[in-house]
Structure 1
Amino acid sequence: MRPIIGMTTYVMPASWGVWRDLPTTLIPYDYTAAVTEAGGRVVLLPPDDLDTDVLRMLDGLVVSGGPDIGPELYGAEPGPHTVTHPDRDAAEMPLLRAALDRDLPVLGVCRGMQLLVAASGGTLHQHLPDVLGHERHRVAPGVYSDHDAVFTPGSRIAGLMGADVTINCFHHQGVSDPGTLTVTGRAEDGLPEAVEDPERRFVLGVQWHPEVRRDRRLFGALVGAAAERI
């Protein structure tokens, strides 16, 4: 029996066939394929802020990438470059907190890592060029930039990544304070790129996009942790 992995999604206008600009629940196929290839079964989770009961049927959770999280989630006012989707915030924050309370295995990707930081009492830089003085973490619309990360020896992410430490980034916000999480990976400029909670079964956030490469190291680790619950 394959572990059931819930995955948060967007609601965006989309077009296909004869249909144009219909509000659509969607997620890039690489996300679902990465979980499937790692041995899991995906259930898509549209934004739903009514309850978190779906967690009773899940073995793990992927909090996917997307737009900026609302700065009110970490006690800040929105800056001029911050673009949010409040429907996702309203649905995903309670879902994530409930998953953490249940010790459900969680993988946060890009926005998902940032939401994980906010849920853990941390804060974000809202526009990295203002802090770092460069735009190498988001070089152009729809273009990933490659970096060689440095991982903390003995950490979960170091064990998973091994000798291949190249990561692919597309983000203009980043972690300022990780809260109760532990930073276990950084880019060459020192920006946190991975966070973990070593006290929990499996809680990992990565600022890059492992789904694009269908990285079995990360998604396989999530599915493996989820399988232990079955």
Structure 2
Amino acid sequence: MGLNASSPLIGISCYLERTRFGVWDTPAAVLPQGYLDGVVHAGGMPVLLPPVGDWTEAQLSRVDGLIIAGGADVGPERYGAERAPETGPARADRDRSEWTLIELALRAGVPLLGVCRGMQLLNAVLGGTLHQHLPDQVGNTDHQPAPGAFGRVPVKVTPGSRLGGIVGERIEVHCHHHQAIDRLGAGLVPVAHADDGTVEGVELPGAAFVAGVQWHPEEDGVDRRLFRALVGEANR
């Protein structure tokens, strides 16, 4: 789909990481290309939002939609828990930056999609908590079979939900997470579950568009429905 001056701007949170490209090995702002491809194919213009400072309402108002991307474990202090041994290294820069972005988006009614970590952080912002090591709860490693490997997980979506209207009532998804929602944040409704009961999708009824998925839609180069839904809301 061709982009033009009227294409909605979709802000996507990203990492600051040491990165190698060409002859360089240097700190950089990075994001998996699948997010960019998903937004562009849906007719939006992606804009990277690195964790470099405190976002303001005026700054967020320059984008028409927001994606909080996947990544490292959310710091458990963000939801009032002690750190479990299995929880990964803290990324306080992303936690702080994206927490603010989510709060601002909810306040301003900016269409919001949380992906994996992004869904977990949305839950924490709304007062929810997380299971810090999912295999202890469900007895399997289907959701994260190995480092750097995605699991293929069947998911059931609630009929009549906003998410169900986008992806249907049954979908197989790419998962790579060892944490998951425990107590739901205020107002969030669980609308997608794996067969082992893990919450794989949530939405906030009444909002213009606030949804989270525990899976990675950017890893599916064919199914762009979630990106199209977000960009469609941003257009409106």
Q: TM bucket by the smaller chain?
A: over 0.9
> Is contact 1:178–1:195 with CA below 8 Å preserved after alignment?
no
Secondary structure of 2:122's counterpart equals helix
Partner of 1:130: 136
Q: How does 1:70-219 map to 2 (within 5 A)?
A: 70-83=75-88, 84-162=90-168, 165-180=171-186, 181-214=188-221, 215-219=223-227
* CA RMSD in angstroms, aligned pairs only: 1.1
Provide the C-alpha distance between the structure 2 equivalents of 1:51 and 1:16, rounded to a whole number of angstroms: 29
Unaligned 5+ segments in structure 2 are: 1-5
The more displaced of 46-55 and 24-33 is 46-55
Q: CA deviation at 1:144?
A: 0.8
2:46 to 30, 33, 42: 42
Partner of 1:222: 230
Q: CA deviation at 1:50?
A: 2.3
Q: Residues 164 and 184 (structure 1 numbering): CA distance in 2 closer, same or farther, change over 3 Å?
A: closer
Q: How does 1:15-30 map to 2 (within 5 A)?
A: 15-20=20-25, 22-30=26-34
Unaligned 5+ segments in structure 1 are: none
The residue type paired with residue 200 of structure 1 is: A
Provide the C-alpha distance between the structure 2 equivalents of 1:217 and 1:133, rounded to a whole number of angstroms: 31
Partner of 1:62: 67
1:2 has 2:7 as partner: yes
Provide the C-alpha distance between the structure 2 equivalents of 1:69 and 1:49, rounded to a whole number of angstroms: 18
Q: CA deviation at 1:199?
A: 1.4
The share of aligned pairs that are identical, in percent, is: 48
Provide the C-alpha distance between the structure 1 equivalents of 2:65 and 2:153, rounded to a whole number of angstroms: 28
Provide the C-alpha distance between the structure 2 equivalents of 1:209 and 1:95, rounded to a whole number of angstroms: 20
> Is contact 2:15–2:50 with CA below 8 Å preserved after alignment?
yes
Provide the C-alpha distance between the structure 1 equivalents of 2:140 and 2:169, rounded to a whole number of angstroms: 27
- Length, aligned pairs only: 227
Provide the C-alpha distance between the structure 2 equivalents of 1:78 and 1:63, rounded to a whole number of angstroms: 23
